[in-house]
Amino acid sequence: MTTKLTIPACALALLALSACGTTTGERAGTGALMGAAGGALIGSLSADAGRGALIGAGVGALGGYLADQHARGNID
């Protein structure tokens, strides 16, 4: 029961804090760190936290970069 509530709560927290920073590097970096943490958390549920952290870091970095480009008006 707590697992069903933990994952959405963590996802909501990660979305609220994603891409913090003012430069492209800061936003991509914070996205990668938060993605790695979220990926490790979710990956640990399937007994592979390392793979989850790597996937989460990649997705988080991409998300941070895209958030930065959107904030700059380069993409819609």
pLDDT in tens, the chain (76 residues): 456 666 677 666 666 655 567 788 888 888 888 888 888 888 888 888 888 888 888 888 888 888 888 888 887 7
Residue 36 belongs to domain spanning:
2-71
Please tell me the total count of domains within the chain.
1
Identify whether 37 is part of a domain: yes
Identify whether 76 is part of a domain: no
- Per-residue buried b or exposed e for 29-45, using 16+ beta carbons within 10 Å of the residue's own CB: bbbbbbbbbbbbbbbee
Residue pair 20/30 in contact (Cβ under 8 Å)? The answer is yes
Identify whether 12 is part of a domain: yes
Identify whether 21 is part of a domain: yes
Q: Token pair for residue 23?
A: 């430069």
